[in-house]
Amino acid sequence: MSLKEKIIRDRVPVHIAIIMDGNGRWAKKRGFVRTLGHEKGVDAVRETVEAATELGIRYLTLYAFSTENWNRPKYEIDALMKLLVKSVNKERKTFMDNNISLMAIGDLGNLPSKSYHELMKTIEDTSGNTGLRLVLALNYSSRWEIVEAARSLARKVSDGTLKADEINIDSFVSLLTTSSIPDPELLIRTSGEYRVSNFLLWQIAYTELYFTPTLWPDFSKEEFYKAVVDYQGRERRFGMTSEQLKQQKNRHLN
Ligand code: IPE
Ligand code: IPE
Ligand code: MG
């Protein structure tokens, strides 16, 4: 049985998030400049989007550029921003043909203006599509997002539109950049690093984590299926006992 056939189709995650890491090391291993690794990384994005579409995944969030990535050498940042413009332009037709809508989270207003405008154009053009929602995390940092939400709440309290006592999980969540997106059930990180690097800290409270040594440019459909099969073999307990979960399941079946 192939990996893809092992996947139980009515139990795939609604939302998968990926920290795409290892482009630089992929290039270095081959004696190439780091930026070539990023270019190869775009092919892996294409493969992954295709695999997610085939499995009927509703949301795929890809960490493409963190707030901390501004600390990289200027030539690399420039190349990444150029690649972003080129890719969203080039893929616009594929998104339309495959009913994919593009979304973005992060401090988008502080992206270079050309990147921002190309991104917005593709987001608008694809906004009516009802298939996979592809979410790019760009100039994103979870701490930034949480502080922004806290500031908005403080403003609402100070202008009297919200009482301090009304601050709760729901009012907080409604101010995150992901307010319209369910929390991911599965988070994948490539390249053998075991950290979350300021990504979706609030949203991954109960997410299953999957780490693979594969460098992002080598990530394939098979790797994606493997992560989903692994996810489906896990028991998500949400604080309960295994016995309670089994009882719940039996009650559902009866
Ligand atoms: C991930 O690959 C892509 C971005 C962070 C933009 P890296 O560029 O971090 O690759 P490594 O970790 O240096 O190998
Ligand atoms: C995380 O990768 C950010 C993205 C994938 C965009 P990094 O390569 O920036 O993370 P660290 O620095 O190794 O934690
Ligand atoms: Mg890295």
Which residue out of 25, 33, 81 has the highest number of ligand 1 atoms within 8 Å of its CB and is therefore the one to mutate? 25
| Catalytic residue chosen out of the listed positions 10, 43, 69, 107 | 69
21 is catalytic: yes
With the CA atoms of 199, 203, 209 and 214 taken in that order, what torsion angle do they form, in degrees rounded to the nearest 10? -30
Name the 3-class secondary structure at 105.
strand
Q: Is the pLDDT of residue 216 over 90?
A: yes
Half-sphere exposure in the Cβ direction for 62 (13 Å, CA): 20
Q: Is the pLDDT of residue 86 over 90?
A: yes
**What whole-number percentage of the chain has pLDDT above 70?**
100
Which residue out of 20, 21, 43, 140 has the highest number of ligand 1 atoms within 8 Å of its CB and is therefore the one to mutate? 21
What pLDDT, on a 0 to 100 scale, did the predictor assign at position 189? 99
The CATH-assigned architecture of domain 3-253 is: 3-Layer(aba) Sandwich (3.40)
Residues 83, 136: contact at Cβ < 8 Å?
Answer: no
Q: Please name which ligand lies nearest the alpha carbon of 139.
A: 2
Buried b (16+ CB within 10 A) or exposed e, 201-239: ebbbeebbebbbebbbbbbebebbbbbbeebeeeeeeee
CA dist 121 and 127 (Å) reads 10
Residues 28, 22: contact at Cβ < 8 Å?
Answer: no
Q: Tell me what the pLDDT averaged over the chain comes to.
A: 97
**Domain assignments of the chain as residue spans, ordered by start:** 3-253
What pLDDT, on a 0 to 100 scale, did the predictor assign at position 252? 87
What pLDDT, on a 0 to 100 scale, did the predictor assign at position 37? 98
Query: Which residues are placed with Cβ below 5 angstroms of ligand 3, an ion?
Result: 21
Which residues make Cβ contacts (< 8 Å) with residue 178, sequence separation at least 6?
105, 135, 145, 200, 203
Q: Is the pLDDT of residue 222 over 90?
A: yes
What pLDDT, on a 0 to 100 scale, did the predictor assign at position 41? 98
Residues 200, 178: contact at Cβ < 8 Å?
Answer: yes
**What's the burial of 130, exposed, middle or buried (CB within 10 Å: 0-12/13-18/19+)?**
exposed
**What's the CA-to-centroid distance between 146 and ligand 3, angstroms?**
23
Average pLDDT over residues 7-36: 98
Average pLDDT over residues 118-138: 98
What pLDDT, on a 0 to 100 scale, did the predictor assign at position 253? 85
Average pLDDT over residues 151-168: 97
* Residue-wise pLDDT tens digits, 228-254: 999 999 999 999 999 999 999 899 888
Q: Is the pLDDT of residue 139 over 90?
A: yes
Q: Is the CB of 35 under 6 A from ligand 1?
A: no
* Ligand 1 atom 13: residue of nearest CA: 24
**Atom number in ligand 2 closest to CA 19:** 5
Q: Is the CB of 171 under 6 A from ligand 2?
A: no
